[in-house]
Amino acid sequence: MAKIKCHAVSCSSDIDMDTRKLYIWGGMEHARWLPETVGEAKKRIMHCRNKENKCIVCDAQIHEVIITRTEKTRKQLLG
């Protein structure tokens, strides 16, 4: 089956470290998918630090995510 590898960035939007407020984001301007590389994830963190939130304390972390499909894709079925 197909494996999809991407990188999610997690951070708390405020200084309160309550895990219920932790969110995972991947959007940057009009792009709303998760970054494929660590470098792209770091670029999005820097963009957020410099332009969007400007948090006093940034606790962003990068997490590697691997999703394994359980069903064949249409391309796999046709090919």
- φ and ψ of 26, to 5 deg: -150, 5
Task: Tell me the whole-structure pTM to 2 decimals.
Answer: 0.67
Which pLDDT tens digits describe the chain residue by residue (79 residues)?
A: 778 898 988 887 655 556 555 555 655 565 567 888 999 989 888 888 887 667 777 888 899 989 898 888 888 889 7
Q: What is the pLDDT of residue 45?
A: 87
- φ and ψ of 9, to 5 deg: -110, 130
- Residue 62 three-state SS: strand
